[in-house]
Amino acid sequence: MLTAGVTSTADVVAMGVPRNRVVEGFNTVDVERFAKGAQRVRGGDHRIGGGHRFLYVGMMIERKNVHGLIDAFATIREPGDTLTIVGTGPLAPGLRTRVQALGLADAVCFRGHLDGDALTAAYGGAETFVLPSTLEVWGLVVNEALAAGLHVVVSGVAGVAPNIEGMPGVFLVPPTSAEIARGMVASRESWSGPCADHPITAHTPQALAALVAQMARSEPEAPSGPRRHLCSSGKRGGR
C-alpha cells in the first residue's frame, strides 16, 4: 500500500495494515513550475525591509481558519506589512467585514481565485505563506510555497506538517490566533531572502511515479493454476 506521508502511514497502520506492507510516499505538486515561476516574477529583486508580505491560498471555509489568520495579522502587523488572501468561498463576505472592522483594509488584499501564471506570481510576490487550518488532510499549497522559496507558517494538525518539520523556513504552530501570530513574527524576523533549491523540490511527480513503478515491480506474481471458486452451487451471496 502506498501512503502520502507520515500521518497517512500512521493512519493505515492503526487500521491494521502491517507496517512492512506500507510504502511511504510524499504528496507532491509540480514543484519545478512553482520554483521557476516565482524566480521569474522576482527577477533579481530579493528585497529585505519595507514591510513583510504574507500570503494565504485556499478556500474560505470554516476549517481553513482564515479568520484566525486575519486576527493574528492584526496583532503583529508592522508598517508596510501586507496580507494577500487568494481564494473563494462562502465565508468571504464575513471575512471582508472582519478586515474592515479591524482597520486592516489598507493592508489586506482579497484576490479571489487564481491559477496558472497568476498563482505563481502571487507566490513570487510574497515572503511568508500561512496555512492556519484546524483540519487539513495534507495541504499541497505548502509544497507550492516552499518550492517558490517562501517561508511557511503551517498548522501542526495539517497532514504535511511532520513531513516538512525541520526543513528550512518552516514554522509549525498550533492553529490558534496567538500561536499563528507567533509563527508569523518568527518568520518575519528570520527572513533573509527566498530559499533557493529548497529540499521540497526533490519531491517531484516523477519521483512519486518512480516509487509507484518500483512497487509494481516488487509485487508478487499471482499464483498460477486453476482458480478455486467459493460459490460453486450457482447461488450468489448478498453483499
Identify the weakest region by mean pLDDT among 143-147, 156-160, 217-221, 229-233: 229-233
Model pLDDT, residue 213: 87
User: Is CATH 3.40.50.2000 the right assignment for the domain spanning 29-200?
Assistant: yes
The β-bridge partners of 170 are 152
The model carries a pTM of: 0.86
pLDDT of 49-75, one tens digit each? 689 999 999 999 999 999 999 999 999
Give which of 174, 145, 155 is closest to 54, Cα–Cα.
145
Task: Decide which of 24 and 46 is more confident.
Answer: 24
Quick check: 226 pLDDT over 50? no
158: DSSP letter: S
- What would the mean pLDDT of 155-160 be, rounded to a whole number? 98
Q: Predicted confidence band at 238 (pLDDT cuts at 50, 70, 90)?
A: very low
Mean pLDDT, the chain, whole residue set: 90
Model pLDDT, residue 239: 36
- What would the mean pLDDT of 95-105 be, rounded to a whole number? 98
The values of phi and psi at residue 6, to 5°, are -60, -45
Model pLDDT, residue 222: 46
pLDDT of 75-97, one tens digit each? 999 999 999 999 999 999 999 99
Identify the weakest region by mean pLDDT among 9-23, 122-136, 161-175: 9-23
- What would the mean pLDDT of 118-137 be, rounded to a whole number? 98
Cell of 111: 484576490
Q: Evaluate the CA torsion angle 143, 146, 150, 154 in order and state its sign.
A: positive
pLDDT of 198-215, one tens digit each? 999 999 999 888 888 888
Quick check: 225 pLDDT over 50? no
Model pLDDT, residue 196: 87
Q: List the domain boundaries for the chain.
A: 1-28+203-218, 29-200
Which are the contacts of 162, defined by CB distance < 8 A and separation ≥ 6? 5, 6, 7
